Structure 1
């Protein structure tokens, strides 16, 4: 069990040569008792992005703040605070900051999808 605040969780830079100015906070995982899933918050700085990639698991995203572009299956889709997306397994995707503030979103993946 855990009750906390994202401001109290340390950000870890995403170390991938295809990512730029992106970091992640792990909020809830099997370590806290949620077997099989991980809830993370990604923070993308102005001009930054996650890598363009696909993988064999889906994930769910909820936009907390800022504006971004979700590249999903060949299309660029504008997203903003309050928006959400389901990214199916094996679908190429990327999140990019399209605004002037930090673009922040929740990403929930199966445990196998968190590395």
Structure 2
């Protein structure tokens, strides 16, 4: 069992040339007792984005704050706080911040999807 606050978790900045202004916090993982999955909080700065990518696992996203787009299957979809998405395995996708301030969302992946 764990009770904590996101502000107490250190962010990991993404430094790839395909990424701009994106970071991640691993909130719950097998280390805390959730076997097989990891819940992460992703933050994208104004004008930032994640890489266009696909992988062998699905993931679930829930938008917490800000405005963004989710490129999925070649279509840009507007998302905002309260939006959610299921991204199937091997689907090409990318998140972008298109609003003012931070774009923040939860991303739940299988353990093998967390690096």
Normalised by the shorter chain, which TM-score bucket?
over 0.9
Deviation of the 1:23 alpha carbon: 0.3
Q: Secondary structure at the match of 2:85?
A: strand
Counterpart CA distance in 2 for 1:109 and 1:84 is 14
Q: Secondary structure at the match of 1:31?
A: helix
Deviation of the 1:15 alpha carbon: 2.5
The runs of 5 or more residues in structure 2 that have no matched partner are none
TM-score, normalised to structure 1's length?
A: 0.98
| Count of residue pairs the alignment pairs up | 115
1:7-46 equivalent positions in 2, closer than 5 A: 7-46=7-46
Root-mean-square deviation over aligned CA pairs:
0.6
CA offsets 1:12-55 (integer angstroms, 9 cap, x no match): 10122211100000000000010000000000000000000000
Q: Secondary structure at the match of 1:54?
A: coil
1:62 aligned partner: 62
1:86 matched to 2:109? The reply is no
2:98 aligned partner: 98
Deviation >6 Å, runs of 4+: none
Counterpart CA distance in 2 for 1:20 and 1:2 is 32
Counterpart CA distance in 1 for 2:82 and 2:63 is 5
The runs of 5 or more residues in structure 1 that have no matched partner are none
TM-score, normalised to structure 2's length?
A: 0.98
Deviation of the 1:112 alpha carbon: 0.4
